[in-house]
Structure 1
């Protein structure tokens, strides 16, 4: 196989500064099976397609990969959904909705809890998830960042109720005082919610 075309989610490379990793998006993006999201490290340079350097973590792309080199290069590229992932470690002053969601998960003895958030007009503006720390020393935050633990099942559930939504921001926060990882999907990346979270926390 010299070349293949597929739909991918873009992640930061866990091993190379400035590099990106493509995670294949399965036919059923609600699947929680990590094996359904094959990770492919993409070459740092030498791409025939323009725009690879400008890709942001979280983008969904249709891309053609040339396997004549290892790692492969990108020969054709189209961004099909402008989602942006943001990450922050050692977060302090976690917002109230997140602490309440996590407290409910602890009280129920559940590994994850979720809720829909709304703006002051009562309109839905986000989907919030709080995940318990994982057993065995697993770093769930790092797994989300690298794509080892895909974020697509969470986003697919949000998309199912908002198919015509525009670009989103997705925030993954690792708080200091709560033993959890928070994933917050802001439905409108240009809206007040996304702007507030970006300004409040040192995301990157």
Structure 2
């Protein structure tokens, strides 16, 4: 059985994909081979429409089209924590809140991103739930797209080395100065993208 649905790519391992169904927010893990579409060219964060063939033990991708080329980047044990994130977290703690947010601005005072901080849970698992999709990033990205227009973004999920919070930063301009600064600071090279 094949059905065209919308998915967010969460992870890639060779040709095996971890996808998040955009209607149900349920994860889907595909087979590692026998795909009829160029799945090796996908990256975490991409929004795709895909036909999955469920007639085998693990679904295979029969066809796909890329709707958005947003990139998700995850970095653990990062340091240093950039000033806006630390300040936003300090404000949350002072207010007794477990999360906080703010817009970020460049040196010309133009808005260049949105920053969220979330208290890490006692087991240190919040970062992992963002990564595996059990706590989807889509509502945060969708909120930005509603305000700024539906576009490709760079989304960074960072867990500081010596802090008890997780940072989610959505750069409004994919490949822009904010995104490139975060990539350079936290050693997160931009992947080579071949799909248009």
Please, what TM-score do these two structures have when normalized by structure 1? 0.88
Q: Secondary structure at the match of 2:33?
A: coil
Counterpart position of 1:6: 5
TM-aligned CA deviation for residue 145 of structure 1: 0.9
Query: Unpaired segments of 5 or more residues in structure 1?
Result: 27-35
Structure 1 stretches of 4+ with a deviation exceeding 6 A read none
Counterpart position of 1:201: 186
TM-aligned CA deviation for residue 61 of structure 1: 0.2
1:189 to 158, 174, 182: 174
Matched, 1:39 2:27: yes
Per-residue CA deviations over 1:101-152 (Å, capped at 9, x if unaligned) read 11111111111100001112222110100000114x2511111111111000
* Aligned alpha-carbon RMSD (Å): 1.5
Change (3 A) 1:203 1:188: same
Alpha-carbon distance in structure 1 between the residues aligned to 2:143 and 2:150? 13
Alpha-carbon distance in structure 2 between the residues aligned to 1:82 and 1:10? 10
Superposed, which structure 2 residues align to 1:47-196 within 5 Å? 47-49=35-37, 51-135=38-122, 137=123, 139-165=125-151, 167-196=152-181
CA contact (8 A) 2:77 2:160 kept: yes
CA contact (8 A) 2:29 2:58 kept: yes
Q: Secondary structure at the match of 2:174?
A: coil
TM-aligned CA deviation for residue 202 of structure 1: 2.8
CA contact (8 A) 2:47 2:66 kept: yes
